[in-house]
Structure formats: C-alpha cells, structure tokens
Chains A and B, each alone.
Chain A
Amino acid sequence: MKEALLRRLAADRAQHRAVGLITDLESGRQLLLHPDEAVGDLALDPAAEAQARTWLMADRSGLLEVPGRRLFLQASMPAPRLVIVGAVHIAQALAPMAGLAGYAVTVVDPRRSFATDARFPDVILTSDWPDEALERLAPDVRTAIVTLTHDPKLDDPALTVALNSPAFYIGALGSRKTHGARLNRLKRAGFADADLARIHGPVGLSINALSPAEIAVAILGQITQVRRAGAKGPAAGEAASAEHAA
C-alpha cells in the first residue's frame, strides 16, 4: 500500500468523511473512493464502482461481487454520534465509555455548574437548551440520544426533537413510574403510541446495574444491541458469531 494513499485515508477519517479503500487482492493496486471522486492506480468498471459506493454508504466492508476479480472494500464511515442530555454523574461515565466504543459524544446541559470541561474532558459540551441543541445537531440514522436529567423541563423538549428525528436509538433515564408519567405528557403533546415505543425507558439493559458506571454500561450495551441488531459479518461464508469458544 502506498503511504501517500494511507495518509489521505487517515486525513479523510480525521475529517469525518465517508471513504472506501478498494484493494485488488491479485495485483495489490488500490483506489480510494469518496462520494464525489476516486483516487488511486486501480481501474474499476462502473458496475463495480456503483456496488462499492452502495456498500460504503451502508458501512459494509467485504469482497465485492465482481466476477473474475478479487476486490476488497474497506468501508469507513464517520463515527456514529451519541448525544447525552444532562451533564450528570452517569454522563461522566457514559461519555468516555461511548468514546472508546467509537462514538462522537456531545453532552447538552444548560446548567453551567454541571456542564464543565473539568467534568467532561474530550467531549463536545453545549449549554444550549436541549431542544435547541438537538435541532442544531440534526440527529440522523447514525445518532443515539439519551436523556439523563430526570427533569421534564429538560428531558421532554429533548425527547420531542428526538422523536421527530430518525435517530436509531432514544433512551430516557427514570423509573417505570417516572417513565409512565413522561409517556402520558408526550401523548398529550400529540405523539402516537408507535412513536413513544421508540423510547427505551427505563433506559439500558436489565443487568442489575447500581453505580453510575454500571448504569452507563447498561445504556451503552443497549445502544450497541440496537445498532448491531441483525448485523451479520458482511461477506461471511455464514453468519458470524461473537461466541468465541476458544
């Protein structure tokens, strides 16, 4: 692999650009595929390029289905995003854990005593009201949203924007009782049961979590479960299993 091509790939990733690296496993020739251009010394016919672009946008790596050639696509999409509403103790654990799992994390809290850089290193912090912050962030299908404030004044506006977006995961902290009251408020605000069913509440997997860090594990576990639902190892001979019996 040419070092210049690898440097270009690293720069694209650092700038959160979608980029695919295609390698001809016979010749070793390579091509960097962007949504709007292609650079490298590998020639690709239009059908193969179209398939590669489709796979890239689906964040799917694997051997392209091109007869007579062995072309491997390494897909690289911008990091998924996690927006945490509430700069609370659980958020202090969840933000770095989600960072390790590959998410670009934003923490939203208008209460300045909570949202301090000292409490949240390496995270984008915003002290806008949650609904304004979320509208500005424009959640897409690669965005997860978690509300942790327990305060309807902050959580409800955030959930309203979240429900009107295609975010792949919406979670809200609170007991069954708190969550029931929350759902009633949102219903009165005009949301249908099918909309409200998108909210994971009480938030997180049921793992008897107690401490803030354990609750963060439960939440990140559930986000992972939803994100990877139905995920199969692309180009696998059969369904890949994470069970590793070694």
Chain B
Amino acid sequence: MDRSEQDVIDQALAWRSEGRKVALATVIATWGSSPRPVGSQLAVDETGNMIGSVSGGCIEGAVVKEAQEIMAGAKPRLLDFGITNEQAWDVGLACGGKLQVYVEAVE
C-alpha cells in the first residue's frame, strides 16, 4: 500500500464524516497482465464519486455498479473479471488479464 492508497482511505473516511454511504473495492488477486497490483483500492460514494482505481479504467464502471447495491445493504461481494467472464467483455477488459475484486461497504 502506498500513498495513493492512503488517499483513497482518507477520502472514504471524509465522505463518511459527511454522512454519505461509502464502499471500498480492493484488488485481491491478479493473473496475467493487470495494470494495478494486488491491494490496489477504489473508494466510491452513493452519488458515484470515485477515488483510486482497481484497473486501468476498464472495470471501474462495473465495480461502481456493484458497489451501489452493496451500499444499499447487500453483502460484501467477490467479483471476477477476465477473459472467461462475459461481463468482462461488456466492460472491456481488453488486456487479457484476470482479476478478483472484493467490494464491501464502510459502515
């Protein structure tokens, strides 16, 4: 975890202090070419504000969509993205990599 990840956590806590719902996404595992290493994080609030990243920008949209459901009360989820995953084609993971992302609410 480096300074950019610390900024993600600090921003997530700042949003919480403003009374917003917040979710945190973390890269759990990667295979092949993935632009962001294990441990990379993305925080998102209920209005779709984002800080940080879990990919080069290809799966953030899909992660934010899942995050909205989790902020609304769903359990934490482990998401798979990759060549074998049809959704990955939809969100355009064109690098040929695979990765797992854990999404949880901060509450």
B29: which A residues are within 8 A, CB to CB?
62-63, 235-237
Q: How many chain B residues touch the partner (CB < 8 A)?
A: 40
Q: How far is the CB of B30 from chain A (nearest CB, A)?
A: 5
Q: Does A149 contact B (CB under 8 A)?
A: no
- Give the top 10 A-B pairs by smallest Cβ distance, nearest first: A237-B31, A61-B39, A102-B2, A76-B1, A102-B3, A246-B94, A246-B95, A241-B33, A28-B76, A244-B35
A233 contacts partner chain B, Cβ-Cβ < 8 Å: yes
Q: 1/0 contact trace for B86-107 toward A, CB 8 Å?
A: 0000001111101000101111
The segment from B8-16, B46-54, B60-68 that touches chain A is B8-16
Closest A-chain residue to B107, C-beta based? Answer: A3
B32 within 8 A of A: yes
| In contact, A25 and B33 (Cβ under 8 angstroms) | no
| Bound CA–CA A25/B103 (angstroms) | 10
B9 touches A25 (CB 8 A): no
- Inside 8 A of B2's CB, which chain A residues have their CB? 79, 101-102
Distance (whole angstroms) from the CB of B38 to the closest CB of chain A: 5
Q: Is A118 an interface residue (CB 8 A)?
A: no
Q: Which residues of A are in contact with B by a Cβ distance under 8 Å?
A: 1-3, 6-7, 9-10, 13-14, 23, 25, 28, 61-63, 72, 74-77, 79, 99-102, 233-238, 240-246
Q: Is the CB of A10 within 8 A of B6?
A: yes
Contact yes or no, A238 B76, CB < 8 A: no
List residues of chain B with CB within 8 A of the CB of A246.
Answer: 56, 58, 92-95
Q: Which residues of B contact A25 (CB under 8 A)?
A: 28, 76, 78, 102
Rounded to whole Å, the gap between the CB of B70 and the closest CB of chain A is 11
Given A6-B106, A13-B1, A74-B1, 4 extra CB contacts under 8 A? A1-B105, A23-B26, A99-B3, A244-B33
Closest to B96 in A: A245
Q: Which residue of chain B has the shortest Cβ distance to A231 in the bound complex?
A: B37
Asked if A1 and B24 sit within 8 Å, CB to CB, the answer is yes
User: Bound state CA distance, A34 and B10, in angstroms?
Assistant: 20
Is A6 a contact of B56 with CB atoms below 8 Å?
no
Residue contacts A-B, CB under 8 angstroms, 12 given: A1-B106, A3-B13, A10-B10, A25-B78, A62-B29, A77-B1, A79-B2, A236-B30, A237-B98, A240-B33, A245-B96, A246-B94
For A244, the chain B residues whose CB sits under 8 A away are: 33, 35, 56, 95
Scoring A2, A76, A241, A246 by chain B CB atoms within 10 A of each residue's CB, the highest score goes to A246
Q: How far is the CB of B95 from chain A (nearest CB, A)?
A: 4
Chain A residue nearest to B93 (CB atoms) is: A246
Tell me if B6 and A13 are in contact (CB < 8 A): yes
Q: Please state if A237 and B78 are interface contacts (CB–CB under 8 Å).
A: no
By a CB distance below 8 angstroms, the chain A residues around B39 are: 61-62, 74-75
A240 x B95 contact (CB < 8 A): no
Least CB distance from A50 to B in Å reads: 20
Interchain CB contact under 8 A, B3 and A240: no
